[in-house]
Amino acid sequence: MSRIRPDELDERLDAGDRPFLLDIRPETEFAAGAIDGSHNVPVYDDLQRGDKSALRKRLGEIPDDEPVVVVCKMGIVAKRATRFLDEQGYDATTLAGGMSGWNGYQKGSWGYRLRSLWWTIR
């Protein structure tokens, strides 16, 4: 299973390489802030409980002919979605750190810098 760091995703977006951004967070969190161009399929709570059926029912909303980057709060539940999508034949990747990582990257926070260093050495 693969992951992409926020800085790597930002570089891709700047270069015009736009994967399908699948934001699985609840609608209220998505409405409060999301990466431009993201598509909300709010299955976070179901996946957190280990229930993949909600995501399975919504696969028709996710293109299977382009890369998918899965976004959640911190990147943990997105890993479950990514793994499931991989099993279904999608080219799926998890956004490392989720929206927390993305927001930290955008703000240049120390927390993001430390986390980024950790991702680099792993």
1: exposed, middle or buried (Cβ count in 10 Å: 0-12, 13-18, 19+):
exposed
pLDDT tens for each residue of 68-107: 999 999 999 999 999 999 999 999 999 999 999 999 888 7
pLDDT over threshold 60, residue 31 = yes
CA quadruple 36, 38, 40, 46: dihedral positive or negative?
Answer: negative
Residue whose entry in the numeric block shows the structure tokens 């990257």 = 105
pTM of the model: 0.89
Hey, what amino acid is at 26? P
Q: Which fold has domain 2-121?
A: Oxidized Rhodanese; domain 1 (3.40.250)
Domains in the chain: boundaries: 2-121
